[in-house]
C-alpha cells in the first residue's frame, strides 16, 4: 500500500492510498478531508468540494498535475504540500528547501564510509562529510570506549548516587535531586527547554513566488526566531563532528543511541538548527538542543527525500525511529562546541583555499603593473624565519620566473628606471597563517571509565576556538585589504600606465569604476566584522555561566569575512585579466597565461560597459569550486618548479644595487680612463 505525507496549513498528515490509480486531485481532497476532521470548525470550510487547491512536491516545490495518477507522479512515502487558494502561508510553515539546497537536487547516497574514533578526523574529512560524500561508522575501539563509559552511568543510576546532570537538575538547579522514575523525563525536558527560539514567523520574512493557474501567488516564507536554519552541508558537518566527539567515550552516551545518531546522519536526516543563539560557554546549547530535538522526533527536520517536515515523519520515511533518551544522554548530545568548531573548520578550509589563490591573483596583477620579482628573493625571506612567508615568496617566483617561464611583459620593462614597487606588491609574502582544534571532548560532565568516575569540568568552554576564529578573520581580511589597494592601482592611470578604469572610451564607459567601489565597501564592512567577539562576555544562567566565549558569532562572522575576501579577489582577478588586454600582443608567463585563459573561458574581455554582476559571480566560482579553480590551473606549475629545484634567477636591473655590479662598473670605468690616457 502506498502512503504519502501531506502538509496542509502547517500540519503534516499521513495519507494511505489503496488504489494506485487514484489521482493527485484525490490525494489533495483526502488530505483536506483529514485536516477538516481534526478541526472543531472543520478548518473554516463547509465541505471538501468547495476547497480549491494545488499540490506541489516539498522537494523542489514542483507543481503536480491534479489529473495525474499518484503512481505515475509520486514515489511511495513522498512528501507533498497542499496549497489552498487564497491562503496566507501558515506561520508554522518552514520552506521545504533551505538556501543552497538546489545543490542537493542531484544528491546520491554515498557508498563509502569514514571510520571515526574521536581522534583522527581531519578538516578535509569533515568538509567532505558535509558535502555528503561519505557515510560514518565507528571503529571497534571507539565502540568499546563508549560501552565502558556507559557502564559507569548505569552504575550511578542503579546506586542512586547524586551526580550533576544525571540525577540532578541543571545550572541553577544543580542541587535539586531528581528521582529515578523521572530521569528519562529530565533528559527530554533538557532538550526541549534548551531548544530556545523554535521555528516561528518573522515580519522580516523572505518571499517566494509560485504560479497558480494564470496568476502569480506570492507567499511569505518564515524564518526561525533565532536565525535561518543551517544549510544541509553545515548541519551535516555539525552532526558529524558531534558523533566524532561522542566516539571518544567520555560522554556516557550508550552505543545504541550513538548508532541511532549515526543512522540519521547516514540517511541525511538533518534537524532544524538555527544559526543564532549560542554564547559558546556551556557548549553550543541552543543549536545542539535543536539537533537533539529532531533526533528524538520533535521539531522540524530536512532530508533530500522529504524537504522540511516534522521530524517524526522524516525519520519514519527513512525507516528510522526517534531516539528514546536514557539518563545523561540529553546532556551528552547538547553539551559541546560543535557549532563553533564545525563552522570554524569550514572557515579554515575556505581561508586556506582563498589564501593560495590570492598569491596567484597578486602575481598576475604584479605582471600587469610591470612590477619586479626581486622582492621575492630567497635570501630576503630566509632572514625572517616564517614558513608561510617563504612559501608565498616561492609561489611568486614559480609563477613569475621569466627565465623558467619566459614573459614578454617582464622583458619589456626589465631595464626601466623604477627602483621598487609599492607595498601592495612587494610585501605580499609578509602580509600573509591559524589553526583550530576540533578533536577535544567538550562536556560539562566527563566520564572516566578507567577510574569509574564522573568529573564536572569546563572543557565545554569555547574560548580558544573563538579566539582562533577571531584571529583567522583578522588575518584573512588582510588579503582583501591589500587586494583592494591593488585594484585601485590597476584602475588608476597615474599608477598603472593603463586606461582609466581599464576601459576604452572612458567617460562614455565607466569600466571597473564601481567594481572597485564594491571591493572598497566589502573591505570596509570586514573591518567592523573583524572586531573580536571573544573579548565580549555576558553572564547567563543566573550567574552560573558567568563568563562566555561568544564563539558562535566568531565562527559566523569569520565565514562572512572570508566570503567578502573571495568576492574582492574575484574583482581583482577580473581587473588583472582586463589589464592584460591592454598589454597585448605581449604575453605573460605560461602559468599566468593559463589562469588568464581560464578566466576568459567564463568572462569575455570588457570592451564596453555591460552588466558586471554576472562576471563577478563567474570569477567568484572559479575561486571557490574545487574541480576547476584558479589554484588547480596554476598548481602543477608551482609543484613542478618545486620538484625540479630550478636555480633561482636574479635578473639584472639598472636600479638594483650589488657589489658585483659596482665592481663591474668600476672596471669598465677604469678601462675607459686607461684608453683615454693612451
pLDDT digits (tens, 9 = 90+) for 106-124: 567 888 999 999 999 998 8
Between strands 2-8 and 113-116, the pairing is: unpaired
What is the layout of strands, in order, in the sheet containing 53-57? 11-17, 2-8, 79-84, 53-57
H helix intervals, 492-589: 493-496, 513-529, 551-581
Percentage of residues in the chain having pLDDT higher than 90: 42
Q: Which residues contact 37 (CB under 8 A, 6 or more apart)?
A: none
Is the model more confident about 17 or about 382?
Answer: 17
Higher pLDDT, 59 or 38: 38
Indicate yes or no: pTM above 0.85.
no
Coil, helix or strand at residue 199: strand
Residue among 123, 289, 118, 127 at smallest CA distance from 192: 289
Q: Is the pLDDT of residue 614 over 80?
A: yes
Higher pLDDT, 511 or 540: 511
Cα atoms found within 13 Å of the Cα of residue 670, Cβ hemisphere only? 6
What confidence score (pLDDT) does residue 61 get?
72
Q: How confident is the model at residue 86 (pLDDT cuts 50, 70, 90)?
A: confident
Kindly indicate the confidence band of residue 675, based on its pLDDT and cuts at 50, 70 and 90.
low
Q: Whole-number mean pLDDT of the chain?
A: 82
- At CA 469, angle to CA 466 and CA 470, rounded to 5? 85
Digit-coded pLDDT (tens) for 521-561: 999 999 999 988 777 666 665 555 665 677 777 888 999 99
Which run of H or of E encompasses 206?
strand 206-212
C-alpha cell at 609: 560597459
**Count of CB atoms within 10 A of residue 161's CB?**
11
Using the predicted structure, report yes or no on whether residue 193 has a pLDDT greater than 60. Answer: yes
List, in order of start, the domains of the chain with CATH numbers. Answer: 3-84 (3.10.20.90), 113-200+221-335 (1.10.275.10), 343-644 (1.20.200.10)
Cα–Cα distance measured from residue 439 to residue 416, given in angstroms and rounded to the nearest whole number: 54
245: left (phi over 0), alpha (psi -120 to 50) or beta: alpha
Lowest mean pLDDT among 228-232, 404-408, 517-521, 656-660: 656-660
- Whether residue 667 is predicted with pLDDT greater than 80 in this model: the reply is no
Cβ atoms of 358 and 569 within 8 Å: the answer is yes
Hey, how many other C-beta atoms are within 10 angstroms of the C-beta on 677? 6
The predicted-structure confidence for 266-296, as pLDDT tens digits, reads as follows 999 999 998 887 776 667 888 899 999 999 9
pLDDT of residue 181 exceeding 60? yes
Pairing of β 135-138 and β 113-116: parallel
Mean pLDDT on 557-570: 96
Strands 307-310 and 445-448: unpaired
Asked whether residue 637 carries a pLDDT value surpassing 70, the answer given is: yes
Q: Which residues are catalytic?
A: 164
The pairing of beta strand 206-212 with beta strand 135-138: unpaired
DSSP 471-492: HHHHHHHHHHHHHHHHHHHHH-
Max mean pLDDT among 186-190, 528-532, 593-597 falls in 593-597
Beta-bridge partner residues of 209: 218
User: Where residue 414 falls among pLDDT bands split at 50, 70, 90?
Assistant: confident
411 Cβ contact list (under 8 Å, min separation 6): 402
Confidence category of residue 676, pLDDT binned at 50, 70, 90: low
Amino acid at each position: 500500500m502506498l502512503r504519502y505525507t501531506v502538509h496542509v496549513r502547517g500540519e503534516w498528515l499521513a495519507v494511505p492510498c489503496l488504489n494506485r490509480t487514484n489521482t493527485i486531485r484525490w490525494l489533495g481532497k483526502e488530505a483536506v478531508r483529514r485536516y477538516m476532521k481534526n478541526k472543531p470548525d472543520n478548518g473554516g470550510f463547509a465541505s471538501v468540494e468547495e476547497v480549491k487547491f494545488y499540490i506541489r512536491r516539498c522537494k523542489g516545490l514542483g507543481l503536480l498535475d491534479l489529473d495525474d495518477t499518484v503512481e505515475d507522479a509520486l514515489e511511495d512515502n513522498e512528501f507533498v504540500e497542499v496549497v489552498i487558494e487564497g491562503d496566507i502561508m501558515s506561520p508554522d510553515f518552514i520552506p521545504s528547501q533551505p538556501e543552497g539546497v538546489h545543490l542537493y537536487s542531484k544528491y546520491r547516497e554515498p557508498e563509502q564510509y569514514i571510520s571515526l574514533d574521536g581522534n583522527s578526523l581531519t578538516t578535509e574529512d569533515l568538509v567532505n562529510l558535509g558535502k555528503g560524500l561519505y557515510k560514518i561508522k565507528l571503529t571497534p575501539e571507539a565502540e568499546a570506549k563508549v560501552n565502558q563509559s556507559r557502564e559507569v552511568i548505569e552504575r550511578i543510576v542503579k546506586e542512586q548516587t547524586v551526580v550533576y546532570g544525571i540525577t540532578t537538575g541543571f545550572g541553577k538547579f544543580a542541587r535539586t535531586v531528581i528521582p529515578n522514575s523521572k530521569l528519562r523525563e529530565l533528559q527530554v525536558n533538557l532538550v526541549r527547554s534548551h531548544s530556545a527560539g523554535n521555528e516561528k514567523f518573522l515580519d522580516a520574512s523572505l518571499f517566494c513566488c509560485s504560479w497558480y493557474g494564470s496568476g502569480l501567488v506570492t507567499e511569505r516564507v518564515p524564518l526561525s526566531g533565532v536565525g535561518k536554519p543551517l544549510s544541509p552541508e553545515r548541519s551535516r558537518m555539525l552532526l558529524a563532528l558531534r558523533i566524532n566527539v561522542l566516539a571518544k567515550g567520555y560522554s556516557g552516551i550508550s552505543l545504541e543511541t550513538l548508532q541511532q545518531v549515526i543512522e540519521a546522519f547516514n540517511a541525511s536526516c538533518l534537524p532544524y538548527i538555527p544559526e543564532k543563539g549560542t554564547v559558546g560557554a556551556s557548549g553550543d546549547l541552543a543549536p545542539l538542543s535543536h539537533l537533539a530535538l529532531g533526533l528524538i522526533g520533535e521539531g522540524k527536520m530536512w532530508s533530500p527525500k522529504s524537504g522540511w517536515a516534522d521530524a517524526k515523519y522524516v525519520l519514519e520515511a527513512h525507516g528510522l525511529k526517534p531516539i528514546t533518551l536514557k539518563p545523561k544522554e540529553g546532556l551528552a548530545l547538547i553539551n559541546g562546541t560543535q557549532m563553533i568548531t564545525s563552522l570554524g573548520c569550514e572557515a579554515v578550509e575556505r581561508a586556506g583555499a582563498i589564501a593560495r589563490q590570492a598569491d596567484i591573483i597578486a602575481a598576475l596583477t604584479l605582471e600587469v603593473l610591470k612590477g619586479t620579482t626581486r622582492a621575492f628573493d630567497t635570501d630576503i625571506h630566509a632572514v625572517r624565519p616564517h614558513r608561510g612567508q617563504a612559501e608565498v615568496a616561492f609561489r611568486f617566483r614559480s609563477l613569475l620566473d621569466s627565465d623558467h617561464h619566459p614573459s614578454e611583459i617582464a622583458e619589456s620593462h626589465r631595464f626601466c628606471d623604477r627602483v621598487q614597487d609599492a607595498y601592495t606588491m612587494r610585501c605580499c609574502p609578509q602580509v600573509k597563517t591559524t589553526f583550530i582544534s576540533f578533536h577535544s571532548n567538550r562536556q560539562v560532565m566527563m566520564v572516566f571509565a578507567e577510574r569509574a568516575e564522573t568529573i564536572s569540568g569546563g572543557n565545554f568552554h569555547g574560548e580558544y576556538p573563538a579566539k582562533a576564529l577571531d584571529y583567522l578573520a583578522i588575518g584573512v581580511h588582510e588579503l582583501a585589504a591589500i587586494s583592494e589597494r591593488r585594484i585601485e592601482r590597476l584602475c588608476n592611470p597615474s599608477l598603472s600606465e593603463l586606461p582609466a578604469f581599464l576601459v576604452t572610451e572612458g567617460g562614455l564607459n565607466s569600466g571597473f569604476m564601481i567594481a572597485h567601489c564594491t571591493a572598497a565597501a566589502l573591505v570596509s564592512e570586514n573591518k567592523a566584522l573583524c572586531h573580536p567577539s571573544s573579548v565580549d562576555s555576558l553572564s547567563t544562567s543566573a550567574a552560573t555561566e558567568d563568563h562566555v566565549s561568544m564563539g558562535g558569532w566568531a565562527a559566523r562572522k569569520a565565514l562572512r569575512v572570508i566570503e567578502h575576501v573571495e568576492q574582492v579577489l574575484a574583482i581583482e582577478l577580473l581587473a588583472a585579466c582586463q589589464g592584460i588586454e591592454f598589454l597585448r600582443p605581449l604575453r605573460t608567463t605560461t602559468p599566468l597565461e593559463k589562469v588568464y585563459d581560464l578566466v576568459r573561458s567564463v568572462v569575455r574581455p570588457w570592451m564596453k560597459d555591460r552588466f558586471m554582476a554576472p562576471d563577478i559571480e563567474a570569477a567568484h566560482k572559479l575561486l571557490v569550486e574545487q574541480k576547476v579553480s584558479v589554484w588547480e590551473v596554476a598548481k602543477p606549475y608551482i609543484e613542478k618548479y618545486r620538484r625540479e629545484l630550478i636555480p633561482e634567477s636574479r635578473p639584472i636591473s639598472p636600479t638594483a644595487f650589488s657589489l658585483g655590479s659596482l665592481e663591474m662598473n668600476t672596471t669598465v670605468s677604469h678601462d675607459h680612463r686607461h684608453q683615454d690616457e693612451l
